[in-house]
Structure 1
Amino acid sequence: MSMQDKVAVVTGAASGIGKQIATVFFRNGAKVVIADLNLESAQAVASELDPSGARAIAVAMDVTNEEQVEAGIAAAADKLGGIDILVSNAGIQIVAPVEQLAFADWKKMLAIHLDGAFLTTRACLQRMYAQKRGGSILYMGSVHSKEASVLKSPYVTAKHGLIGLAKTVAKEGAAHGVRANVICPGFVRTPLVEKQIPEQASELGISEEDVVKKVMLKETVDGEFTTVDDVAQTALFLANFPTNALTGQSIVVSHGWFMQ
């Protein structure tokens, strides 16, 4: 799918799912903004994609910081010629049962996943509306946007919240040709998921192998992890869809773990 010269901002793009989405977008003709808390890693990805810096740039961005988000989006738009796509992907995971979860951890999780989605969306919508050339906003949800798991109350809450935000943006953005959708992956073996394996083994009193087989992959049709490219190809399809026929939706990519 051609995305020739469309400008895509991907948050949390220095590694994992975000990096693969940025890479797939770039290979399909887009200009990409590697937005990440870790500027050095973001610069490495941007340089890897395009050493010239003409079609891939890095931006330091704490998505919970209003000033950083506004400045980063403005700088990206000014350098690359506007904003056409936002992939709100930045996220972390903190695992604990509700009765032991620190309020600070609850607030941190919601700030990164929900406040970050709001702030980046607002900044990009302002650009998209002014440009009058439409746009696409993609939120990185999860199967946990649809379903709950033990030990993940703030994550589940935040991922459910992204569906509400996407539906609202889809309705408000329609008149401007801006679509909003949520990608809901199953378990993808990124550093975020790798970190959860020993944590859940400890909390649940089972082996790490059992966490993988009996918790993470138990409900899949083939016992396979979702891959970063599975998610990136879904993002490419949604970002490039030409009409409002596909907006306000949440697409599950999970090897059948969750079926709608």
Structure 2
Amino acid sequence: MILRDKVAVVTGAASGIGKDIARQFLAEGAKVAIADLNIEGANATALEFDPTGERAMGVAMNVTSEAEVDAGIAAVAAKFGGIDILVSNAGIQIVAPIEDYAFCDWQKMLAIHLDGAFLTTRACIKHMYAQGRGGSIIYMGSVHSKEASVLKSAYVTAKHGLIGLCKVVAKEGAKHGVRANVICPGFVRTPLVDKQIPEQAKALGLSEDDVIKTVMLKETVDGEFTTVDDVARTAVFLAGFPTNALTGQSIVVSHGWYMQ
């Protein structure tokens, strides 16, 4: 168990990628805070994973709220005795041509992806520094941290921004043994992606099958979606890596869609 007795916070963990990361962290011995805007879902997930309540807890967290993030992280540290790992995973998707993209939607996208990453990083890293035992911060980027796609101006901008934040955190955190890395998945068949398929089909004048085959999976080597398990295994590897040899990096998990 490479994460034995480590304390992890995973945002957006009541469902999707975040939930599977939390599951695998627990399997590797970590104590995990399921942080989510949906507190009922967070509590249900924590109970599903650990009915005793000793190694998993739900935390209400709107990652765009400074007060809510600070209070949630403080509660996790108080219950579990510190913070060793942050997975900044909370995110949404809104697609539209740039000429039709509502400014309020642009602001919402950047707030959740970038403000949320900053606020949770700041709250967690203070505990990591004070503890003196290092730590690992993992941002959930995307192949869109490297590449652009039509209809996704705010998403691509935000995901590129996470790489910049990661590099700064890696440099600042190094003397404290705190590492920072970005996971960049391809398309993962989650509700977030399922929602995009009909939206893109309408915007691009394609069938939903064509969106999957000719837009989402066209550049993969095998025509397969990336899975939540693919991403969670990568998160475990990064969380458990023991030295600063692996920091400030962006790891692409995309069935070959993007090759560095």
Q: Specify the TM-score bucket, using the shorter chain as the normaliser.
A: over 0.9
* Structure 2 partner of 1:195: 195
Residues 91-132 of structure 1: per-residue CA shift (max 9 Å, x gap): 000000100000000000000000000000000010000000
The residue type paired with residue 12 of structure 1 is: G
Match runs of 1:37-116 below 5 Å = 37-116=37-116
2:244 counterpart of 1:250:
no
What does residue range 203-218 of structure 1 map to in structure 2 within 5 Å?
A: 203-218=203-218
Q: Which residue identity is paired with 1:80?
A: F
Q: CA deviation at 1:205?
A: 0.2
**Which residue identity is paired with 2:87?**
V
Mapped to 2, the partners of 1:131 and 1:99 lie a distance apart of: 48
Shift of 1:2: 1.8
State yes or no: 1:127 paired with 2:130. no
Q: Aligned letter for 1:2?
A: I
Deviation per residue, 1:54-107 (Å, 9 max, x gap): 000000000000000000000000001100000000000000010000000000
Deviation at 1:18, TM superposition (A): 0.1
Moved >3 Å (runs of 4+): none
Report the equivalent of 1:174: 174
Instruction: Give the distance between the partners of 1:247 and 1:169, measured in 2 at CA.
Output: 9
- The 2-side partners of 1:234 and 1:135 are apart by 16
Q: Does 1:185 align with 2:189?
A: no
CA distance in 2, matches of 1:257, 1:114: 24
Aligned AA (2:149): S
Which residue matches 2:156?
Answer: 156
Counterpart-to-counterpart distance in 1, 2:145 and 2:4: 31
Relative to the length of structure 1, the TM-score reads 1.00
Helix, strand or coil at the partner of 2:9: strand
Alignment of 1:138 onto 2:138: yes
For residue 99 of structure 1, give the secondary structure of its aligned residue in structure 2. Answer: helix
SS at match of 1:182: strand
CA distance in 2, matches of 1:83, 1:154: 30
Q: CA deviation at 1:203?
A: 0.1
State the Cα deviation string for residues 17-57 of structure 1 (Å, max 9, x = none): 00000000001100000000000000110000101110000
Q: Distance in 2 between matches of 1:185 and 1:107?
A: 23
Q: Secondary structure at the match of 1:5?
A: coil
**Structure 2 letter corresponding to 1:247:** T
